[in-house]
Amino acid sequence: MAQTDEGGFRPTTPLAREYVPFGDSDPAEALRVLIGDSQTLFRAGFRRLVSELFPGTSLVETGSTAEAWKVLNKQDGFHLVLLDMAMPGIHDGPGIRRFVEKDPSVPVVVLAAYAHPEEIAMCMERGARGYIPKTVSEDVLRHALALVLAGEIYLPRSAIRQILSATSDRESSTLDGLSETNPLRELTPRQRSTLSLIIDGRSNKEIARSLNLLESTVKAHVKVILRKLSASNRTQAALIAADLGWPRRSGSSSS
């Protein structure tokens, strides 16, 4: 992913459904948004704000994850789905991924009271195309929604800094104590991220989703990893990595 100005990332795989939220457009193609949020007052305020920012928007409100899911299954043509992180089934279940997989061409954005890096990472891993704190200004909200509708990913700037910092720390700790000739040092940061997910038992498709890469790109990374570690398959690569000093996750256990 490439970082954009004002917070945001450009995904490597564009959305199949395109929507340009500016300028003259056919009324039949007016922006259709589904929002799931348990707070009635917030939904009312959000409706007013979105109507001002994007005139002609058709916004369908729901007050629960189950209700939002029911609407999404009964109605077609949504350009955007917004889900409150605090709703049951979203913060404590596979709800985000279920909404994403219902129609991958429709971006799913998470609304949250605060920006928590760990929470954001979880949402991105499950396929969300954006994470918007409810405290953002009108200008930022407009930018965030326009960015997502253009096929990109929006994350708050503060969260991007924290995530990049945490990633840098993890990559540094991965190499701590390894000799200069250790084959693990030959892996690029992206290849190390891929190897970490291989060790977790993830498939190429799951790795592609987690890292926002094309599956073909993941396959290429896996091929290079196997070659650099002199491994014949993924399982052997994981075992060799462990022998070479790849750090175990705290609390992990072998099955």
Residue 51 lies in a domain: yes
Q: What is the DSSP string of 186-241?
A: GS-HHHHHHHHHHHTT--HHHHHHHHT--HHHHHHHHHHHHHHTT-SSHHHHHHHH
Looking at per-residue pLDDT, the higher value among 9 and 69 belongs to 69
Number of domains the chain contains:
2
Alpha helices in the chain (DSSP H): 40-53, 65-74, 95-102, 117-125, 138-149, 157-175, 189-199, 204-211, 215-228, 234-243
What average pLDDT does the segment 110-126 reach? 83
Say if residue 102's pLDDT is above 70: yes
pLDDT at 170: 53
Q: What is the CATH number of the domain that holds 189?
A: 1.10.10.10
Residue 196 lies in a domain: yes
pLDDT at 29: 63
* Residue 52 domain boundaries: 2-157
CA 25 to chain centre: 29
Q: Confidence band (pLDDT; 50, 70, 90) for 57? A: very high
Looking at per-residue pLDDT, the higher value among 3 and 183 belongs to 183
pLDDT at 167: 52
Mean pLDDT in the chain? 80
pLDDT > 90: what percent of the chain?
Answer: 35
What average pLDDT does the segment 125-138 reach? 90
Say if residue 59's pLDDT is above 90: yes
The contacts of residue 126 (CB under 8 Å, 6+ apart) are: 94, 96, 97, 100
Report whether 71 contacts 62 (CB < 8 A). yes
pLDDT at 162: 62
Say if residue 255's pLDDT is above 60: no
Asked if 35 and 125 sit in the same domain, the reply is yes
The SS3 of residue 185 is helix
Nearest C-alpha neighbor of 19 from the set 9, 28, 10: 28
The CA-based angle 210-121-168, given to 5 degrees, is 90
pLDDT at 171: 54
Report whether 247 contacts 47 (CB < 8 A). no
pLDDT at 81: 97
* pTM, entire model: 0.58
pLDDT at 196: 87
Say if residue 139's pLDDT is above 80: yes
For residues 148 and 183, what is the distance between their CA atoms, to the nearest angstrom?
39
Instruction: Tell me which of 157, 185, 211 is where a domain ends.
Output: 157
Residue range 144-189, pLDDT digits in tens: 999 999 988 898 877 666 655 555 555 555 666 778 888 888 888 8
Asked if 121 and 197 sit in the same domain, the reply is no
Beta bridge pairs of residue 153: 9
Asked if 100 and 136 sit in the same domain, the reply is yes
The contacts of residue 86 (CB under 8 Å, 6+ apart) are: 38, 112, 113
Q: What is the CATH number of the domain that holds 59?
A: 3.40.50.2300
Residue 142 lies in a domain: yes
Say if residue 16's pLDDT is above 80: no
Q: Any idea what DSSP says for residue 102?
A: H
For residues 88 and 66, what is the distance between their CA atoms, to the nearest angstrom?
9
pLDDT at 67: 95
Asked if 182 and 116 sit in the same domain, the reply is no
What average pLDDT does the segment 228-238 reach? 91
- C-alpha radius of gyration, the chain, whole number: 20
pLDDT at 251: 41
Residue 250 lies in a domain: no
pLDDT at 28: 45
